[in-house]
Amino acid sequence: MAPTDPRPFAAVDLGASSGRVMVGRVAAGTLDLTEVHRFPNTPVRVGSTLHWDILALYRGVLEGLQAAGRFAGGPPASVGIDSWAVDYGLLDADGALIGNPVHYRDGRTGSATAKVAGTLPPTALYAVTGLQHLPFNTVYQLVAAQGTPALAAARRLLMIPDLVSYWLTGEVGTELTNASTTQLIDPRTRDWSRPVADTLGIDLSLFAPLRRPGDRAGQLLPEVLTETGLGGPVPVTAVGSHDTASAVVGVPAHGDRFAYIATGTWSLAGLELDAPVLTEDSRRANFTNELGVDGTVRYLRNIMGLWLLQECLRAWESQGRTYELDELLRRAAESAPLRSVVDAGDPEFIAPGRMPERITEACRRTGQPVPRDEAETTRCVLDSLALAHRRALMDAQRLSGRTVDAVHIVGGGARNELLCRLTADACGLPVVAGPAEAAALGNVLVQARTAGAVAGDLSDLRRLLCETQDLRRHEPMGDRRAWERAEARIADGRDSHRHSEGDKDEQPRG
């Protein structure tokens, strides 16, 4: 093989609604990505607890690696794994999984947030970890699990991508970008915060040693090679195993005057910084400082994202009304703009179920007209997301002192032209849409750099994306004052909601 021949890398990318295995072929000037296997990720409620069906996902990974080998005509040069964050599996003394990992949308952390706030005030927790308050952060899950037989029997805790990596290689490790979503890492030292763990009674020895994106994470076990039909040896490389970390590597930006929105189930809207912002203003605005690839910080806020629409579609389907997304989006585009908007940062939308009704209730509560049909509900969701994108990017610039000239929308939402157009209009900035598979591309690029198929820093990797990926540009249009007025409606609604809730544990909301 000539040194410049593209080499195949397999990216396992597990999302909240589906998993996929992609093969990326990489060389200087070349970056092609092909999906070789996609499988559903269907959570299962057992009793009152919502679980991930982790073995079904692992089967999908094995089938995907087999498909990758067939597609590439031989074993991939390496495998990398990324997934959603915060969730974990527990292993017993024999290394066997104890129970199915619990889904972050499960309600078990209900009282743990107040318990943690009572032990370690939110201000102190933020000053050390810089993580936004989300009720499902690993810290809250672990405090909720304290006293359970499962946690008592646990000898190891592996985050979801690290668990898959362990099953593939037999080796344990805790990849740093995902570890930073536990709320147990200090983003200044990029290491565990022992004071936070000790104060909350969390045993840090449960975690395997930290590894960084680009580190070697082992080799596929002989039984995995047999199962997948791959000839060995096949190395597994640690990538930005938090899908959002990989997605941000996959942002096709020039320079540093850009914002990104990684869209999918969530919208993760923010900036890439060199150092964390740990101020009290930042905490109040509920901004997070997650760790990124190559020493970067992902300064962003979680926004409910297309989950709102996915849940509406699911609710309508269960009532026998199935819609084609394209048709719904076309009708939404023709619906009256900004008729009613909801706060797409409100944690009240985290749990599954009854989404159209919950959106209607939120409109009613804030004195706005309720959506009259599915197209108006869809428009309300997209207007609300665009407004939340605007709010997050304005806050991120104000709080960090970094200003931007363009917004990159990557991930599944980059295919949603209406969402991209509304975001450009709301932000008053050009939006560059694509690539939709940014997480898999970021995953592949970090592996390819470790293997020597490409070289350079993030800006070099991004240059390759700019040269090879199809991107669409949306210039901002329309009257920005309409968005300001809609924002005022949200702010009023939020204040009155806060007062009626009594601002229970003084946790911020984005």
Q: How far is the CB of 243 from ligand LFR (least distance, A)?
A: 5
Q: Does 182 bind ligand LFR (CB under 6 A)?
A: no
Tokens found for residue 88: 């974990």
- Sign of the dihedral through C-alpha 198, 202, 205, 210: negative
Q: Is 429 in the site for ligand LFR (CB under 6 A)?
A: no
Residue window 14-53: x/- pattern of binding to ligand LFR, with contact defined by CB under 6 A? --x-------------------------------------
Is there binding between residue 302 and ligand LFR (CB under 6 A)? Answer: yes
Q: Does 113 bind ligand LFR (CB under 6 A)?
A: no
Q: Which of 186, 243, 425, 487 binds ligand LFR (CB under 6 A)?
A: 243
Length of the chain: 510
> Which residue type is seen at 189?
T
| Min dist. Cβ of residue 370 to ligand LFR (A) | 29
Q: x/- string (CB under 6 A) for ligand LFR, residues 76-105?
A: --------xxx-----------------x-
Q: How far is the CB of 293 from ligand LFR (least distance, A)?
A: 14
Say if strands 18-27 and 30-40 run parallel, antiparallel, or are unpaired.
antiparallel
* Contact residue for ligand LFR among 52, 140, 260, 266 (CB under 6 A): 266
Contact call for residue 395 and ligand LFR (CB under 6 A): no
Q: Which of the ranges 239-247, 336-344, 356-364, 493-501 carries the binding residues for ligand LFR, by CB under 6 A?
A: 239-247
Of 186, 243, 395, 425, the catalytic one is 243
- Look up residue 328 and give its two tokens: 């719904």
225 within 8 A of 68, measured Cβ to Cβ: no
Residue 368 touches ligand LFR, criterion: CB under 6 A: no
- By CB under 6 A, is residue 388 in contact with ligand LFR? no
Closest CA to 311 of 97, 112, 17: 17
Beta bridge partners of 258: 406
CB atoms near residue 92 (< 10 Å): 13
HSE of 318 in the Cβ direction (CA atoms, 13 Å)?
9
Strand partners, 288: 300
Examine residue 268 and tell whether it contacts ligand LFR (CB under 6 A). Answer: yes
Residue 287 near ligand LFR by CB under 6 A = no
Q: For this structure, is 243 an active site residue? A: yes
Sign of CA dihedral 496, 266, 333, 325: negative
Q: Does 483 bind ligand LFR (CB under 6 A)?
A: no
- H helices within 107-206, ranges in order? 112-119, 122-129, 138-145, 149-153, 160-169, 176-179, 194-200
First to last CA, the chain: 52
Active-site annotation, residues? 243
Binding residues (CB under 6 A) for ligand LFR: these are: 16, 84-86, 104, 242-244, 264-266, 268, 302
